[in-house]
Each structure stands twice: as C-alpha cells, then as structure tokens.
Amino acid sequence: MRCVSWLLLGTCLLVLGPAVQGAPGQCPSLCHCHGDLQHVICDGVGLKKIPQVSDATRLLNLQRNNLGHIPTGAFTESKGLISLHMQHCQLREIGSHAFKGLKKLIYLYLSNNEISSVKPGAFEDLTELTYLYLDGNQIGDLAKGIFSPMVNLFILQLNDNKLRELRPGTFAGAKDLRWLHMSGNELTALQPGSLDDVENLAILHLDRNRMSTYPGAAMSKLRVVEELALGGNPMRSVPDNAFQSFGRYMEKLHLGNMSLEKFSDGAFTGVTAIKSLHLDNNRLRSLPKSFEFGSIANLTLANNPWSCTCQLAPLRRSEPTSEPTSDRSI
C-alpha cells in the first residue's frame, strides 16, 4: 500500500509540475496576470521558453525575453489570443506552423528580433490577423504567398530588414492591405506585378532603399495611394505619368534626400490632390512647367542647385510663413 501511495503521489507531482511553469488556467511563473488571466504580462522576466496560457487569455506580452525560437505547437492551448507581443526576444526564425491555432489573433508584434528566415506556412491559421509588425529584423527574402492566410491584413511593417527584391505573388491573398512599410531595406528594384495583389494600398513607404529607377511598372495597378515615400533612393529622374494611376488620391509625396536631377514634363500628370511635397536635398535645377507647384500647402525645396528663372519666382519665400511645416526657400 505504501508503494501504491508513493506511486500516486509521484503521478500527482508529475501532473502538477508543469502547472507551476504555467499550465492553462494558472498564471505562469514570473509573469503578472490581470482580469482572470485575460492579460498575461511576462515582459523582461528572463523566460527562455514560451509559457502555456489559458484559452481565456486575450493578450500575451512576452517581449524582452531570450526565447530564441518558437516551437511548433507553442500556442495550441492559447486559442483565445487576440494580441501577441514578442519584440526583443532574440528570435532567429519563424518556422512553419509557428502560430498554429491562433485563429482569433489580430495583433502580432515581432519587431526588433534577429529573424532572418520566415518559412512557408509560418502564418497558417492567422486568418483574422490585421496588424503585423516585422520591422527591425534581418529578413532577406519572402516566399511567394507567405501572407496568403491573412485575408484581413491591414498594416504590414517590414521596414529596417534586409529585403533585396520584391517578386510577384509575395502579397497574394492580402487584398485588404492598406499600409505597407518597407523603408530601410536593400531593395534595388520592384519587379513588375509585385504589388498587383495589394492594389488598395493607401500608404506605401519605400524610402531608404537602393532603387536607381522609378518603380513605375510595379506600381501601375495601385489606385488609391494617399502617401508615397521614396526618399533616400538613388534615383536621378522621375518619368512621365509616374503617379497617374493614383494621382487623384495622393496627398503626400516624399522625394527628399535622393540624387534626383529632373522630372519629365509629364511626371505629375493626373496629380490633383497633393498637399505635401518634399523635394529637399536633391540636384534639381528646375521643375516641370506643366504642373502648378504654387498651390501645394507644404512644399520643401531646400538644398537644390536651382536655376532662378521666372518659373521658380512664385515659389520664392517673400515673407515668413504662418505655417511652420512649410519650407519654400530656394
């Protein structure tokens, strides 16, 4: 009987042991929990593996821990999660099925890790995901259709990675994407068709890349871009009809800090709504005669070798402006 008693006790300890580390229904060790486990906060507590949480948990904050990787099935008991924070966790890879089971997840924060690879199927089950933050990593390539499960994706942050090219099919399935940030990568060109699947983009940031030619073919299907940032790319010219497909919606255009020398005369054809245009720190000597730049509320032209012709006279600042954001000095 004593042996049976010890055996039963040992079995109980085996069952209870993982619960101390955070079995479903209990607050994980070292973490803080609020609202009947709806919010589980494990920010910077020295975790080396992902704790199990209740399916009642809606927010799980794991940022600033040395997790290294995401094991397959890590979130199978966390099916109620809506927001998952994994910034600064030294993650090196997102493997296939990494988030399997998280069908209710809306917010996924993976910023500022060491992610160099995102495997096919990594985002399986994330059909409700709306906000995805992958900025500040080492991602050099994205597989075709990698975002296809995310039919509700609205904002995608890919800035400050190592992306070298963008191919057709990369964004297949993400038809509702509205904000795409790819600043600070190593893009030398956008292949024609690479943005065809996200024609509803409203904000597109491609600044601080290495593109030497305007990516007109890649952007030809875009219809409703309101803000376009291309500053910091070594482009020398902007061709005719560059913004025509979305010109009646475009309100902000950032073309500063480039090697820009000229615009084709028809570069701004179809542009009718622009309110803010940044052309500072380029090599421009003149502007297209076919467009009325004087009507733009916020126009920055500083640090260009302008030829002071009659065309530019209306843009000279004759008196201090009441709008501190406007800089029309030439």
Predicted pLDDT of residue 295:
83
Residue 124 burial by Cβ neighbours in a 10 Å radius (0-12, 13-18, 19+): middle
| Residue 121, both tokens | 């199927």
Q: Taking a C-beta distance cutoff of 8 angstroms, is the pair 272, 250 a contact?
A: no
| Residue 200, both tokens | 């509803």
Predicted pLDDT of residue 313:
56
* pLDDT in single tens digits along all 330 residues of the chain: 434 343 333 333 333 333 334 456 789 999 999 988 999 999 999 999 999 999 999 999 999 999 999 999 999 999 999 999 999 999 999 999 999 999 999 999 999 999 999 999 999 999 999 999 999 999 999 999 999 999 999 999 999 999 999 999 999 999 999 999 999 999 999 999 999 999 999 999 999 999 999 999 999 999 999 999 999 999 999 999 999 999 999 999 999 999 999 999 999 999 999 999 999 999 999 999 889 888 899 999 999 999 876 556 556 553 334 343 444 444
Q: Taking a C-beta distance cutoff of 8 angstroms, is the pair 290, 302 a contact?
A: no
| Residue 175, both tokens | 């038809």
**β-sheet bridge partners, residue 41:** 32, 61
Q: What is the spatial distance between Cα 210 and Cα 203, in angstroms, rounded to a whole number?
A: 20
How many whole angstroms from its chain centre is CA 319?
A: 40
Q: What is the spatial distance between Cα 273 and Cα 268, in angstroms, rounded to a whole number?
A: 11
Predicted pLDDT of residue 319:
34
Predicted pLDDT of residue 290:
86
Predicted pLDDT of residue 310:
55
Predicted pLDDT of residue 324:
38
3-state secondary structure of 189: coil
Residue type, 325: T
Q: Alpha carbon of 272 to those of 242, 255, 269: distances in Å?
A: 13, 17, 9
Contacts of 156 (CB under 8 A, 6+ apart): 132, 134, 147, 174, 177, 179, 180, 181
Q: What is the spatial distance between Cα 296 and Cα 4, in angstroms, rounded to a whole number?
A: 86
| Residue 70, both tokens | 């995401």
- DSSP string across 267-327: TTTT-----EEE--SS------TTS-GGG-SEEE--SS-----TTTGGGS--S--S-TT--
